[in-house]
Amino acid sequence: MEGSREIPIWFFIGVLLSIYGVMIFGYGLWELITGHLAHVVLARLHAPVWWGAIMLVLGLFYLVRFRPGR
């Protein structure tokens, strides 16, 4: 993107979002399965599941789309 053979910033963003997506989605799944909900308002909406999933999907998209050497 900026100059030859440079890893684009969007790839770094993909890496970060993917890692966060796995961590938060994973925790959300654990909450969902075990029923141990965090003591927060609207916990029944399982925000970690869908917010983590959104981050993971976006992260994977950027990872693939802007992978080095593409």
Partner 1 sequence: MLTAPVLSLGNSLPAATAVALTTTSLARLGGLDIAVIVVYFAMVMWIGYYLKSRANTSEEFFMAGREMTAWIAGLSFVSANLGSLELMGWAGSAYQYGILAAHWYWIGAIPAMLFLGIVMMPFYYVSKTHSVPGYLKLRFGQGSSTVAAVSFAFMTILMSGVNMFSMALVMKVVLGWNITFSIVVSSLAVAAYVALGGLRSAIFNEVLQFVLIWGGALLVPILGMIDAGGWTGLKNRILTNFQGQDYLHLWRGLGHFHDNPMGVHWTGIIFGLGFAISFGYWTTDFLVVQRVLAANSLRSARMAPVIGSFFKMAVPFIVILPGILGLVVLHNPDGSLMHLVGENIVSAHPGAGLHSYNEVLPLMLVRYCGPGLLGLGITALIAGFMSGMAGNVSAFAAVWTYDIYQPMLRRNARDEHYVTVGRWATVLGVVISIGAAYLVMNAQGIMDYVQALFSFFIAPLLGAILMGMFWKRATRQGGFWGLLIGTVTSVSLWAWVHFDPSALRYVALSPDARDMAENMYRALWSLSITVIITFVVSLFTKPRDAGELNGLVYGATVLPAEDPVAFYKSELFWAAIAVVVFVALNVMFW
Interacting residues toward partner 1 by CB under 8 A? 1-3, 6-7, 9, 12-13, 15-17, 19-20, 23-24, 27-28, 31, 37-43, 45, 47-48, 51-52, 55
CB of 65 to partner 1, least distance (A): 14
Task: For residues 70 and 56, give the distance between their C-alpha atoms in angstroms, rounded to a whole number.
Answer: 21
16 vs 64, beta carbon nearer partner 1: 16
CB of 39 to partner 1, least distance (A): 8
Task: For residues 17 and 33, give the distance between their C-alpha atoms in angstroms, rounded to a whole number.
Answer: 23
Closest to 17 (Cα-Cα) out of 65, 60, 64: 60
Amino acid at site 28: G
